[in-house]
Structure 1
């Protein structure tokens, strides 16, 4: 009896494993067929349309809960113009959660793109032209240099002339700072915030009340600066 039982035991184990495998197959099939019944999106949604994000996610859900490609959903979500980063995760039993981080522009670049604080450029659609942002211009690969200079110049000039309207770095070097009142400040290559500080000190003391009448201030002189006044239209004479 003991010998027969010992011989039968492997057969019983094999039959039990087959039975368990047969039972597991329908369960696995049901799990693979488990649908994604809800999508939850999270973020600030200042510029990104919640509806547009939900549609992008829905377009990627072509398979069940366990089979949906979460990386494809993340890539598609991140492809939206105002999305900087996206994360996607499954939430049992039938939900997909998508969280986004929006881009935060701090300036315009060459009238073609918006710039983030780290110098990253992006080209959004929609109402980007309505954003009140400083205008920066410069050659390719100079984005961070110009943005950094804008921060330094702004801290020196403050509200002088209404603040900085635009900053330009020509290909030949130097800087052109346009104030909100239309006055342009010209600096040579190598000149920086210290030069502007001397001008700002002089402007506050001597020419602040006349600044709106000045078209350009050339700061490329070691001993001072040259001023060019705005042209005043001549009045038509009566006759």
Structure 2
């Protein structure tokens, strides 16, 4: 059959050249589009024409790029890196949506610097307030030795308030040749330095002494005249205390009844000037007596005195 003239060149006929000034259309996708795909396409077109649409399109781009990045990193076995990528992408998306953290108010800090607090809290210049978990941030802050408690509050769209309560330096703890500043609850909070705030702190020595520091410091605080003569308190076998006096005398306290023994020691010192005598040890571990050990010089002097008395007694009248 013959074709009519010009029939093969009609617009849209197979093999016909495209009209001047128009682009050639791509052949249609042989796969039928699903209803959800059509709806998503129409929604994207509508959103792109508004400011919200442009922002949403940016969020969608971030999500797609981040998703492919995480997929590739996980396939490579770097799960930790993948988690950080997810957080970064989430922060970027939150920032595009207008939730970038612009203000962080920190209060209550003295020994811990604001930079350390922000680092532990994980708050950076690119952080979005949407993805700051206040409870998890508080737990991380309270894990710092100096911080006893913390509160983290979020104020949308862009402000975070962090308030901390620091532990107070209570005593010095010497263990294995090192000296540490400890809080009342025994937690080491800093290595010892020549900071004037630490010079007058009481010193406890020995394994486990930091856990029982409160009992000995409080007991001596009730007897300030005795406390001022103590250089350090040594915990022996994690059971009882020995006081190392500034003049070199060791005072051995009982495991039970320590407060009573300290009061008895003060009475002896007031009545007989015990702590100013030439002795090396005062043993208060026995409830019914006080055992005193003389220094070597005092012991020699006492021996010579007793010999002289015995000699004088032999040479005297019958």
Q: Under TM normalisation by the shorter chain, which class is it?
A: 0.5 to 0.7
Q: Please name the residue that 2:265 is paired with.
A: 199
2:99 corresponds to 1:34 = yes
Give RMSD over aligned pairs. Answer: 3.6
Alignment partners' CA distance in 1, 2:229 and 2:152: 42
Q: Please name the residue that 2:142 is paired with.
A: 78
Alignment partners' CA distance in 1, 2:173 and 2:236: 13
What is the TM-score when the length of structure 2 is the normalising length?
Answer: 0.53
SS in 1 for 2:218: helix
Residues 154 and 230 (structure 1 numbering): CA distance in 2 closer, same or farther, change over 3 Å? farther
1:89 deviates by 1.1
Residues 49 and 98 (structure 1 numbering): CA distance in 2 closer, same or farther, change over 3 Å? same
Alignment partners' CA distance in 1, 2:126 and 2:140: 14
Q: Please name the residue that 1:6 is paired with.
A: none
Q: Please name the residue that 2:171 is paired with.
A: 107
Alignment partners' CA distance in 2, 1:104 and 1:40: 22
Q: Please name the residue that 1:89 is paired with.
A: 153
Q: Please name the residue that 1:133 is paired with.
A: 201
Deviations 1:83-116 (A, max 9, x none): 2222111123311111111011312234454432
Q: Is the 8 A contact 2:186 2:212 kept in 1?
A: no
2:220 corresponds to 1:220 = no
Alignment partners' CA distance in 2, 1:194 and 1:62: 62
Residues 128 and 70 (structure 1 numbering): CA distance in 2 closer, same or farther, change over 3 Å? farther
> How many positions carry a matched residue from both structures?
208
SS in 1 for 2:236: coil
Q: Please name the residue that 1:183 is paired with.
A: 249
Higher relative contact order (CA 8 A, sep 6+): 1
Q: Is the 8 A contact 1:146 1:169 kept in 2?
A: no
Q: Is the 8 A contact 1:182 1:212 kept in 2?
A: no
Q: Identify unmatched segments of 5+ residues in structure 2.
A: 1-42, 60-94, 299-318
Q: Please name the residue that 1:13 is paired with.
A: none
Larger radius of gyration: 2
Alignment partners' CA distance in 1, 2:120 and 2:277: 50
Q: Is the 8 A contact 1:61 1:68 kept in 2?
A: no
Q: Is the 8 A contact 1:88 1:97 kept in 2?
A: yes
Residues 107 and 215 (structure 1 numbering): CA distance in 2 closer, same or farther, change over 3 Å? same
Deviations 1:170-229 (A, max 9, x none): 117432012344332112433422122112111012216x62754332223533331434
